[in-house]
Amino acid sequence: MHQYIIRRLLQGIPTFFGITMVVYAIILLAPGDPIMILAFDPTMRQDERDRLAAQLGVNDPFYIQYLRWLIGDDWMMVDTNYDGEVDSWGDNYGILRGDFGTSFKFRGSNPLQLIAERLGATIELNLAVLLTGLTTGIGVGVLAAVNRGRFFDKFTRIFAVIGDSLPAFWLGLMLLVFFGITLPRFLIDFDIGNGSPLLPMGGRCPPVRGGCPPLFARLHYLILPTIVSSVGVIAVWSRLMRASMLEIISSEYIRTARAKGLTDRSIWFKHSLRNAILPFAVFLGPAFFSLLGGSIIIERIFTWPGVGLVTFDALVSRDYPVLMTSVVITSVLTIFAYILSDILYAAFDPRVRF
């Protein structure tokens, strides 16, 4: 088992380097002049331009730039005052040693820190979605399998297809309109309260008033984004769970259990459910991953201060260091999610050999 875990972790390394290459290639191929973005001064003199270009190293061949970004340049002499000669050691450490450069937009701030500050919010939200989505999805799927062909089964099937075909952001905005405009008006009209109970989302962790309230004090902020994100998860998982349950229930050992005279309840919920859930350990990684990707939409709708929102802001302002950091960090998290789900699967399934 230990060996398997170590081997699986080692397999993540080439993937990590692949990701850094893809990310760097995209930024490198992007049109637009990084110097213009950074200096934002059309009247800049040519020699100033050249100096900045030398500082940033944008004139070097792409593999040197990539290497410098990856492992830093403190091992090579660089030209700092643009006189054509190398004159001092570089001072970048590269992302492998945790140096992601400095943000273009927030001068002097560390992108890694910007991301790390927001990572908690994203993980909090995604864990809530995963928890809600999986428990509801599995529950609905099992009940649909038990009541196969009856009303509940048909109803949840329609719900699943609709949940799959609605754009998530549409649902999110509709909820936002209801809780942000319709409900407060109603409350004010009837003199019940002031403002909406579940909004504003941005108030989750007020940065000005200092500190974050403990999780239980701000759980209500989680409700709307969790509903919107989990609809898709519930739709997919309930169908998968139903199919898996029906496959298990027609197998021989269930017939044996019936022949032994076990109750239906015990057969469905003890003998079938455990075996039906097993294959889904493998979906945990991809589920987490698709949620991370979708967070850019959900966080934008609800101004949820997570990684998705930082990425969006960085994209709009062309803040390349922050953008690259965010992609690298979320990708690393994704790799870990995949590895974790593989290990879980191996740990729970006795048929998997190491």
Partner 1 sequence: MQKKPISGRMHGAAQKSKHELYPSLTMWQRGLRRLRRDRPTMAAIFTVLGFAVISLLAPLVSAALNVDPNEIDVTNNYAPLFSEGHLLGTDELGRDHLSRLLYGGQVSLGIAFSAALLSLAIGLPIGVFAGYYGGKLDDFINWFIITLNSIPFLYLLAIISALLSPLPLTFVVILGTLGWTGTTRLVRAEAYSLKQREFVIAAQALGASKLRLMFQHIVPNIFSLLIVSLALAMGSLILTESALSFIGFGIKAPTPTWGNMLSGGFDYMRRAPHLLVLPGMLIAITVFCFYLIGDGLRDAFDPKIAD
Give the footprint of partner 1 on this chain (CB under 8 A). 14-15, 18-19, 22-23, 26-27, 30-32, 161-162, 164-170, 173, 177, 289-290, 292-294, 296-297, 300, 311-312, 315-316, 323, 326-327, 330-331, 334-335, 338
Least Å distance, CB 17 to partner 1, is 9
C-alpha dist (Å) from residue 132 to 36, 81, 125, 151, 278? 46, 57, 11, 23, 18
Tell me if 219 sits within 8 A of 131, measured CB to CB. Answer: no
Q: Which residues pair with 51 in a beta bridge?
A: none
Residue with smaller CB distance to partner 1, 23 or 125: 23
User: Nearest approach, Cβ of 335 to partner 1 (angstroms)?
Assistant: 5
**Number of C-beta neighbours around residue 184 at 10 A:** 17
Q: Are 79 and 85 in contact (CB under 8 A)?
A: yes
Cβ at position 126, least distance to partner 1 in Å: 11
Residue closer to partner 1 (CB basis): 48 or 313: 313
User: Would you say how long the chain is, in residues?
Assistant: 354
Report which secondary-structure segment, H or E, holds 77.
Answer: strand 77-78
The span from the CA of 7 to the CA of 254, in Å, is 36
| Distance separating alpha carbons of residues 49 and 34, to the nearest angstrom | 11
Minimum CB–partner distance for residue 85 and partner 1 (Å): 34
Using the minimum distance from each CB to partner 1, give the nearer residue, 37 or 53.
37
Q: Smallest distance, Å, CB 31 to partner 1?
A: 7
| Orientation angle between helical segments 111-146 and 307-316, nearest 10 degrees | 130
Residue 57: CB atoms within 10 Å: 16
Comparison of 200 and 207: residue with beta carbon closer to partner 1: 200
Q: How many CA atoms lie within 13 A of 292 on its CB side?
A: 24
**Cα 50 to Cα 27, 54, 68, 79, 84, distances in angstroms:** 21, 6, 19, 12, 11
Q: Output 66 or 82, the one with its CB closest to partner 1.
A: 66
Q: How far is the CB of 88 from partner 1 (least distance, A)?
A: 33
Minimal distance, residue 181 CB to partner 1, in Å: 8
Q: Which is nearer to partner 1, 67 or 166 (CB)?
A: 166
Pick between residue 96 and residue 177 the one whose CB is nearest to partner 1.
Answer: 177
Q: Which is closer to partner 1, CB of 221 or CB of 338?
A: 338
CB of 197 to partner 1, least distance (A): 22
Cα distance between residue 352 and residue 86, in whole Å: 57
In whole angstroms, how far apart are CA 95 and each of 11, 110, 324, 340?
Answer: 20, 12, 10, 24
Taking the least distance from each CB to partner 1, the nearer of 54 and 171 is: 171
Compute the distance between CA of residue 190 and CA of residue 157 in angstroms, rounded to an integer.
39
End-to-end CA distance of the chain: 6
> CB 281 → partner 1: shortest distance, Å?
18
